Amino acid sequence: MKAFILDRYGKKQALRLGDMPEPALGPDDVLVEVEASGLNLLDSKIRDGAFKPILPYKAPLVLGHDLAGNVVKVGAKVRRFKLGDAVYARPRDGQIGTFAERIAVKEDDLALKPANLSMAQAASIPLVGLTAWQVLVERAQIKPGQKVLVHAGSGGVGTIAIQLAKHLGATVATTASAANAALVKKLGADIVIDYRSHRFEKELSGYDVVLNSLDASTLEKSLKVLKPGGKLISISGPPDPTFARAQGLNAVLRLVLRLMSAGIRRKAKRAGVDYSFLFMRADGEQLGQITTLIEDGTIRPVVDRTFPFEKLNDALAYIDTGRAKGKVVVTLK
């Protein structure tokens, strides 16, 4: 089958379009013919080698963490899906590879595609949708009336997180450029801070939750926004000891991550704030709940650009600019 292959790690390393063996199908696997694949900064970071210590993939490998497509074969133990089903997913770590014509995905990672979305729209959802869900619903347990700050509101995670936080009854603030203010307001943001001309930490206070996807400086400034007992949840690092244990990392890596996060954990404790790092996981059941919100109009995808599959390197270069609004998708059909 045709796939884009990472032959070696390297900063902005181009992927090679070539042939890969057909995926092996286990008893719990579903073989999906990919019609569209969403791109994520995670793909770029793995390509660049930034995640080698915690995601030890060996090149050559196929990247890609979002898919929408059709079921073409099921394993012997699969019960929830059948041939011809339109599905979408974020395959679990160790089984990624959506930049290909076909992929084997665990049944537990799949959900039926939202009926009101195209394949390209559906492919934009899984990773960012699950990230927003696991931050806001699972970890923060947002309640009506709470205040949530979502950084980078016009980005992939931000566009979904704003809509989900609003659905959960929160007052939502976000940081975005002036050019993207109308977009994030339309998604439900109550307060928009232009990060180029205003300092969010001077204008916001008493917040219950901050979702950080930006740099260390933004992370530290976010402590000033939170009230005592608030939660600072970062998807951009630094990873903390809880994450290291959950990943089953060795003692050396656990120590490294403990040291990397020591500063922000210490400052958070001093401020009476809970700091945690979240690295989202595949979850077909949660994705099914997100499907319900998409089909009833609560959440809508934001797709900036769609590229043909053969232009995947151009699509990666575009997301590397950091200017994409929402998601970028490649289509195979």
Q: What is the pLDDT of residues 158-213, one digit of tens each?
A: 999 999 999 999 999 999 999 999 999 999 999 999 999 999 999 999 999 999 99
Nearest of 131, 91, 83 to residue 108 by alpha carbon: 91
pLDDT of 52 higher than 90: no
Q: Do 50 and 18 belong together in one domain? A: yes
pLDDT of 54 higher than 90: no
Q: Do 137 and 231 belong together in one domain? A: yes
Q: Do 120 and 148 belong together in one domain? A: no
Contacts of 118 (CB under 8 A, 6+ apart): 36
Domain of 189, in residue numbers: 127-277
Q: Do 55 and 70 belong together in one domain? A: yes
Query: Tokens 């979240």 sit at which residue?
Result: 278
With respect to residue 286, please indicate whether it lies within any of the assigned structural domains. no
Q: Quickly list DSSP for 60-98.
A: SEE----EEEEEEEE-TT--S--TT-EEEE-PPTTS---
Pairing of strands 147-150, 2-6: unpaired
Alpha-carbon distance 91 to 97, whole Å?
8
Give pTM, 2 decimals. Answer: 0.97
Q: Do 49 and 120 belong together in one domain? A: yes
Alpha-carbon distance 81 to 38, whole Å?
22
- What domain count does the chain have? 2
Q: Do 210 and 273 belong together in one domain? A: yes
Whether the Cβ atoms of residue 22 and residue 317 lie closer than 8 Å to each other = no
Q: Enter the tokens of residue 165.
A: 């936080």
The Cβ of residue 289 has, within 10 Å, a number of other Cβ atoms equal to 13
Given this model, what pLDDT does residue 56 score?
Answer: 85
Q: Enter the tokens of residue 264.
A: 């922000």
